[in-house]
Structure 1
Amino acid sequence: MAENLRPSPGAPSNDGTALSPQGEGLIDGIPLAKVVRPESIEDLSEIIANEKGSIVPLGARTQTYFGNPLRGADCAIDLSGLRRITEYNPADLTVHVQAGVTLGQLQQALIENNQFLPLDPWNGPNATMGAIAAANAQGPFRAVGTIRDWIIGMKVAEVTGRISKAGGRVVKNVTGYDLHKLYTGSIGTLAIIAEVSFKLRAKFGRTATSIAKAADVSGAARLVASVRHSALEPVACEWVGPENEIWVRFGEHPSAVDWQLKNLPPADWTILEGSEESAAWERLRSRYDRLRPIVLRIVGLPTSTHEIIKEYRPPGWIAHALNGIVLAEVWTAADIWRVREKYRAVIERAPLEIRRDLPTFGLNDAEYNLMNKMKHAFDPEGRLNAGRHVDGERNQ
């Protein structure tokens, strides 16, 4: 059965989220009245059914700073006890995992069959699969899709405690609505993700990363354009600033990787493989962690990356150069408003005072009205992760 737990002393603190040495938990300055840890999906159902106050799902707590500020935490549910890989079918390239399984744990289990899940969220291998799905957490591997593209089904706990299923457990499934796509990115505000079913892919036969440094923004833009218009098929292409480094990663059969390396556009490329390559991407992850004080996810067309960087001149950035997404370091609320006049911009990370003053997602009226109706349909009393998503976008 579920047991009452104290938060672990010394756990990470992120912009209004803190755990004191005495174990008193805070998220966005809101104290966690109690923390419970279910050991099974049945436990989870029972806890939710018996709880009448606000409910906050927790994973590894690597991304509690994302979303609008929390408004209540009568009961925090620590899902780390749901750590089972419930079914793995290597021949079908599918796996079914409980929400508390970490990405690192899953990848380790898959490697025995030379398979993997092509996800690399910025919050790293310690993030849980439930939290990655709930936040739609992303990283450089965007060329092969986001987590929404790899999920084939889900099992969730509704606000009443009822366990329901969405999607299926096989890749070719056509029954029912794709509600799992709706739950992905909803930050636990529509239902609490209990189990996720994924399709997989064979591990790359070889990976290699090429890094070149351009003289300026215009030179970097030309290099990115050359990659975009070529026959190359990178699994990641990052434009890192202000150094104007272009990172191009290939993953495929060894001969295909070799051909792509030989056909890179002219530049002074440094080629990394093996442990050097892995270490380089870990350094880039650390670089993302150092973007401060605000990380703004600016979304444009693939061809507008150069325009975004040139127009707003962020002091630091990591751009998914072939997708039109720029993770920009900005300093003030005024910077955010200026970007939103022209582009969709989501606040990925910011101090609590900024998140209290500005909506995280910047929804327009039509989006807000539709999503608010959806929230009311799934959670009429607004008890699931209260304030984190659409219900925190207005009346800031």
Structure 2
Amino acid sequence: MPETVKLTTENMKHDLIEMVGPENVAVDRMESEKRYQLQAPLMVFPDEERKVEEILGWACKNHVRVAPQGAGTKDAFGHQGDGPDVILSLKKMSGLLHHSVGDLTVTVLPGTTLRELQQALGKEGQFLPLDPAWGEQSTLGGIIASNASGPRRAMYGSARDYLIASRICYPDGTMIRTGAKVVKNVAGYDMNKLFIGSMGTLGVFTELTFKIRPIPVYAGALVIRIPELLKLRKLQGILLDSQLEPSAVEWVNGRLGKDILGQAVAGPMLLVSFEDVERSVRFQMNWLAHTCDSLGVAVQMEISGQEETQIVLSRLREHLPNSNDISDDKLVVSVKLLSMIAEVPAVYEVLQNSADEKGLLLDFHGGLYTGISRATIRADWVQQSKVFEWLHTVNSFLGQLNGRSVIEVAPRDIKMNLNVWGPEAEDWNLMIGIKNKIDPKRILNPGRFVGGI
């Protein structure tokens, strides 16, 4: 077969304008390289599913590389990849399609932000229990594609627990429907889970259906000062063995603690939140306070009320870098750390000591119920070698624990020298095989995900 002739930028622009109109196509002259954001010569803004089908069908036919994008908050995630020819922005595909209050389900378009959805659901006393960072900007399509979650994952779980149906456009423009718009559905394979966290490498979401929950009546939290890691481990064991049902249990270092509480914090602290009816929340907070007394650790602050508690949790989430807001003259590195829950205190200790030794400013919080920790370094470029040394310490220690470190945010030029997804895992060959089957021409986000997918 004759080799496909690569389209010029002008050819691609002409074709895209014919499909979506000139007002929905933008040109990037690529005069300077952006370190934390996606870049492509062209950006296209479809406003309906049919146009997504048409664009991807055209891209597949002409071997045009396409990078799906929501609001751009996670542009820095993953490898730089092969470099897209077109960014497919789903911002204009926004809105709530159907909300079944009685069935506790909602169907939305992928460009809808989490805040927009929560505001609509809140009018009926309901919410989607996902709490990734930057919910006022993050789109639901991007949240699902990156499997983003926050500290309340300890109680509510992740996107895999709430997405029950979706419509997805394959890289060749073929539309598929997965799942069903009912909460109880056991027919066939749950294909939704194949696409959750796939970083837009297998398909583009055009419609999402979630199961939702009633908003808890009340919330509260305790901030506990624990100077000794031995006592932290003991309290963690007591909590895990207890009947308590916290919504978040996060070990937070002093620097980040000061930011989220708005006051000086003497060293690391434990933040434990609860959500339920008021009587239940107060009982659990009192039980935990008495347990702390028996261990000889102090409750530094008590937070009462839904609004007050959510403000603190929001500050905790949103210390994470937003690709839209990072200046190119700053060196920002953010790492997601996966370990056994019992190892979170040790992960904190090693990362904090390493950062202190190298003169780096570290923000850290680790989930004592989830085993997911987040570590962010904000530095100047003159500290680049120190940041590399710190990353080496992180990767080495997580490897010793049989855990995994994923470099979510870092400048593009630094990522070129790093394996951001960590060492090769046993399931990578399976994932590569799925990619080759669904996207043999490598149209969607080539090279961005694990194993060069």
Same fold (TM over 0.5): yes
Residue identity in the other structure for 2:407: I
Preserved contact between residue 220 and residue 244 of structure 1 (Cα < 8 Å): no
Preserved contact between residue 36 and residue 75 of structure 2 (Cα < 8 Å): yes
Aligned-pair distance for 1:339? Answer: 3.0
Preserved contact between residue 27 and residue 41 of structure 2 (Cα < 8 Å): no
Aligned-pair distance for 1:76? Answer: 1.2
Residue 88 of structure 1 is matched in structure 2 by 99
Question: Could you tell me how far apart the structure 1 residues matched to 2:411 and 2:50 are?
Answer: 37
Residue 103 of structure 1 is matched in structure 2 by 114
- Structure 2 residue 423 is the aligned partner of structure 1 residue 384: no
Q: In the TM superposition, what are the counterparts of 1:90-169 in structure 2 within 5 Å?
A: 90-143=101-154, 144-169=156-181
Give the alignment partner of residue 83 of structure 2, picking from 57, 67, 72. 72
Preserved contact between residue 321 and residue 334 of structure 2 (Cα < 8 Å): no
Query: Structure 1 residues 365, 128: closer, same or farther in 2, change over 3 A?
Result: closer
Question: Could you tell me how far apart the structure 2 residues matched to 1:391 and 1:302 are?
Answer: 27
Aligned-pair distance for 1:363? Answer: 4.6
Give the alignment partner of residue 338 of structure 2, picking from 281, 299, 303. 299
| Cα-to-partner distance string for 1:93-150 (whole Å, 9 max, x where unaligned) | 0011110011001001101111101111023332000000000011111121011111
Preserved contact between residue 106 and residue 211 of structure 2 (Cα < 8 Å): yes
Give the alignment partner of residue 251 of structure 1, picking from 263, 275, 291. 275
Residue 302 of structure 2 is matched in structure 1 by 271
Residue 2 of structure 1 is matched in structure 2 by 20
- Structure 2 residue 203 is the aligned partner of structure 1 residue 202: no
Question: Could you tell me how far apart the structure 2 residues matched to 1:59 and 1:100 are?
Answer: 6
Point out which structure has higher relative CO (alpha carbons under 8 A, 6+ apart).
Answer: 2
Question: Could you tell me how far apart the structure 2 residues matched to 1:114 and 1:154 are?
Answer: 24
Residue 360 of structure 1 is matched in structure 2 by 420
Name the stretch that deviates more: 328-337 or 70-79.
328-337
Preserved contact between residue 395 and residue 405 of structure 2 (Cα < 8 Å): no
Runs of 4+ aligned residues of structure 1 deviating over 6 Å after TM superposition are none
Residue identity in the other structure for 1:222: K
Aligned-partner SS, 1:271? strand
Preserved contact between residue 113 and residue 137 of structure 2 (Cα < 8 Å): yes
Percent identity, aligned pairs only, is: 30
Residue identity in the other structure for 1:246: L
Query: Structure 1 residues 15, 217: closer, same or farther in 2, change over 3 A?
Result: farther
Residue identity in the other structure for 1:283: R
Aligned-pair distance for 1:15? Answer: 6.9
Residue 334 of structure 1 is matched in structure 2 by 392
Preserved contact between residue 288 and residue 318 of structure 1 (Cα < 8 Å): no
Residue 287 of structure 1 is matched in structure 2 by 319
Aligned-partner SS, 1:72? coil
Name the stretch that deviates more: 384-393 or 213-222.
213-222
Aligned-partner SS, 1:110? helix
- Structure 2 residue 55 is the aligned partner of structure 1 residue 16: no
Aligned-partner SS, 2:107? strand
Query: Structure 1 residues 38, 288: closer, same or farther in 2, change over 3 A?
Result: closer
Q: Which runs of 5+ in 2 are unaligned?
A: 1-18, 255-266, 293-297, 356-361, 378-386
Aligned-pair distance for 1:250? Answer: 0.6
Residue identity in the other structure for 1:339: F
Aligned-pair distance for 1:256? Answer: 1.0
Question: Could you tell me how far apart the structure 1 residues matched to 2:20 and 2:394 are?
Answer: 42
| Cα-to-partner distance string for 1:180-211 (whole Å, 9 max, x where unaligned) | 10100000001111111100111101111211
Query: Structure 1 residues 307, 255: closer, same or farther in 2, change over 3 A?
Result: same
Residue 33 of structure 1 is matched in structure 2 by 41
Question: Could you tell me how far apart the structure 2 residues matched to 1:371 and 1:60 are?
Answer: 26
Give the alignment partner of residue 350 of structure 1, picking from 410, 416, 431. 410
Question: Could you tell me how far apart the structure 1 residues matched to 2:240 and 2:407 are?
Answer: 27
Query: Structure 1 residues 335, 66: closer, same or farther in 2, change over 3 A?
Result: same
Question: Could you tell me how far apart the structure 1 residues matched to 2:419 and 2:164 are?
Answer: 31
Preserved contact between residue 298 and residue 326 of structure 1 (Cα < 8 Å): yes
Aligned-pair distance for 1:6? Answer: 2.5
Give the alignment partner of residue 251 of structure 2, picking from 239, 253, 266. 239
Question: Could you tell me how far apart the structure 1 residues matched to 2:313 and 2:347 are?
Answer: 24
Query: Structure 1 residues 210, 224: closer, same or farther in 2, change over 3 A?
Result: same
Which is higher, the Rg of structure 1 or of structure 2? Answer: 2
Q: In the TM superposition, what are the counterparts of 1:306-321 in structure 2 within 5 Å?
A: 306-313=345-352, 315-321=362-368
Aligned-partner SS, 1:159? coil
Residue 22 of structure 1 is matched in structure 2 by none
Aligned-pair distance for 1:217? Answer: 3.3
Q: In the TM superposition, what are the counterparts of 1:220-235 in structure 2 within 5 Å?
A: 220-235=232-247
Give the alignment partner of residue 192 of structure 1, picking from 204, 215, 218. 204
Residue identity in the other structure for 2:375: A
Aligned-pair distance for 1:86? Answer: 1.4
Aligned-partner SS, 1:195? strand
TM-score by length of 2: 0.78
Preserved contact between residue 134 and residue 318 of structure 2 (Cα < 8 Å): no
Aligned-partner SS, 2:299? coil
Query: Structure 1 residues 335, 188: closer, same or farther in 2, change over 3 A?
Result: same
Residue identity in the other structure for 2:343: S
Say how many residue pairs are matched. Answer: 379
Query: Structure 1 residues 218, 125: closer, same or farther in 2, change over 3 A?
Result: farther
Residue 51 of structure 2 is matched in structure 1 by 43
Query: Structure 1 residues 7, 232: closer, same or farther in 2, change over 3 A?
Result: farther
Aligned-pair distance for 1:340? Answer: 4.2
